[in-house]
Amino acid sequence: MYKTSLKFAEDWHDDNFEERLMGRQIVIGDITPLLSDLHSSFQLSTIGSSFEGRNICKVSFGSGKIKILLWTQMHGNESTGTKAFFDLLKWFQDPGDLIDLRDELIAKFTIVAIPILNPDGAESYTRISAQGIDLNRDVLDRLAPESILLQDELQGLKPDYCFNLHDQRTIFSVGVPPKTATISFLAPSEEKNRKVTEGRKKTMQVISAIYHDLKGAYAEHIGRYTDEFYPTATGDNFQKMGYPTILIESGHFPGDYERAVSRKLTFLSLLSGLIHVSQGDLRNDHSIYFEIPDNEKLYLDVIVKNVQLNGRRTDLGIVFNEEVAEGNVVFVPNLEKIEALDAYGSDKFIDGESLVFKSKHDAEKWIKIEFN
């Protein structure tokens, strides 16, 4: 049995992450050459098409009895999980000094992954599909072809665990004073009372093991996403069907708008989860899951303190919205809050005591000039 801290894997990632996948917008055309370059031990197949006719593929590898189903970009503009998954694929092909660990995982797992489940949304850099459907709320209605393909794979594989990879907005925070939620986890609920079922316990145990591995260096930036039950959500329903589903939310790290840090933490989370599941090294006390701090929404990109607006002193909270302009993702400043923001964290604080605005419109004009 191979035992390791994640330090070796972190060092590997620093030097060997998949450099061909960069930026916030990742589309099918970006991953196609990487899939074509996969070693012959990886099986690549097209499982169907999106609403607009883009191919949706799956990658299968490993020969073990433990079955894993993983998917990324269910929301088209949430690409960090895709990049982390391709880092994992690269690690499985060239693990450096961790060959023994790689071989152990290959022997124990059968892994099926769908990178970019929502290629239409990825192309237009939107959360929803080309039909205007949130695939993460379509598990019951099955209106989108992408949703049907995912559920077909679920029923065909009948996985022991699922990994559902998402991105989280900058506004999500952890702790007091608020820090960025760079990575967050969720064991989805199966019903509105959020009962801790046996299936949820299994999910919580995996998340607890991952948390134990990550928290040394990143404890202030790890959060637990709300387990409010969503009757139409994918994770909640897969969990209810008996398929333990680990939801990973890749978030923001101060100043890191390319999400390199959360990409690495997502890669490490996937590898950590696989290691602990393969070795049966899961913490029996699932309650450790509840030690992970709750996500809050107490973070902003910029806070301008103590401006004068309409004759009174207040703070301005600015959030950067992501938009595509001339093929590039740009961050557009938006005035999100006008209130005392002492309870909020931010990447940047500006002393605004000398700033005087007659109206909200004047403040918005200043923000556009200042941050563009």
- Let me know if residue 199 belongs to a domain: yes
Question: How high is the pLDDT of residue 24?
Answer: 97
Cα–Cα dist 82/246, whole Å = 16
- Let me know if residue 120 belongs to a domain: yes
Question: How high is the pLDDT of residue 4?
Answer: 55
Q: Do 344 and 238 belong to one domain? A: no
Q: Do 253 and 341 belong to one domain? A: no
Scanning the structure block, which residue is given the tokens 């191919």?
55
pLDDT at 3 exceeding the cut of 60: no
Cβ within 8 Å of residue 314, ≥6 positions away: 306, 307, 338, 339, 340
Q: Where on the phi/psi map is residue 96: left (φ > 0), alpha (ψ -120 to 50), or beta?
A: left
Question: How high is the pLDDT of residue 2?
Answer: 47
Q: Do 224 and 346 belong to one domain? A: no
The share of the chain scoring above pLDDT 90, in percent, equals 93
Gap between the terminal Cα atoms of the chain: 54
State the pLDDT confidence band at 5, using cuts at 50, 70 and 90. Answer: low
Question: How high is the pLDDT of residue 161?
Answer: 98
- Let me know if residue 1 belongs to a domain: no
Q: Do 134 and 162 belong to one domain? A: yes
Q: Do 205 and 311 belong to one domain? A: no
- Let me know if residue 359 belongs to a domain: yes
Look at 98 and 182; give whichever has higher pLDDT. 182
Q: Do 320 and 282 belong to one domain? A: no
Q: Do 41 and 161 belong to one domain? A: yes
Q: Do 59 and 132 belong to one domain? A: yes
- DSSP secondary structure letters along 137-175: G-TTT--SHHHHHHHHHHHHH--SEEEEEEE--TT-EET
Q: Do 125 and 247 belong to one domain? A: yes
Cα–Cα dist 38/32, whole Å = 10
Question: Which residue among 296, 323, 353 closes a domain?
Answer: 296
Question: How high is the pLDDT of residue 283?
Answer: 59
Domain encompassing residue 133: 7-296
pLDDT at 66 exceeding the cut of 50: yes
Scanning the structure block, which residue is given the tokens 């949304």?
121
Question: Which residue among 273, 296, 319 closes a domain?
Answer: 296
Q: How many domains does the chain have?
A: 2
- Let me know if residue 358 belongs to a domain: yes
Please compute the mean of the pLDDT values over residues 223-246 and round it to a whole number: 97
Q: Do 279 and 365 belong to one domain? A: no
pLDDT, averaged across the chain: 96
Q: What is the CATH number of the domain that holds 118?
A: 3.40.630.10
pLDDT at 368 exceeding the cut of 90: yes
Q: Which candidate, 18, 104, 100, places its Cα nearest to that of 62?
A: 104
Q: Which candidate, 202, 109, 112, places its Cα nearest to that of 156?
A: 112
Q: Do 248 and 316 belong to one domain? A: no
Question: How high is the pLDDT of residue 372?
Answer: 80
- Let me know if residue 128 belongs to a domain: yes
- Let me know if residue 2 belongs to a domain: no
Q: Do 283 and 324 belong to one domain? A: no
State the pLDDT confidence band at 280, using cuts at 50, 70 and 90. Answer: confident
Question: Which residue among 264, 296, 328 closes a domain?
Answer: 296
- Let me know if residue 139 belongs to a domain: yes
Question: How high is the pLDDT of residue 6?
Answer: 86
pLDDT at 273 exceeding the cut of 50: yes
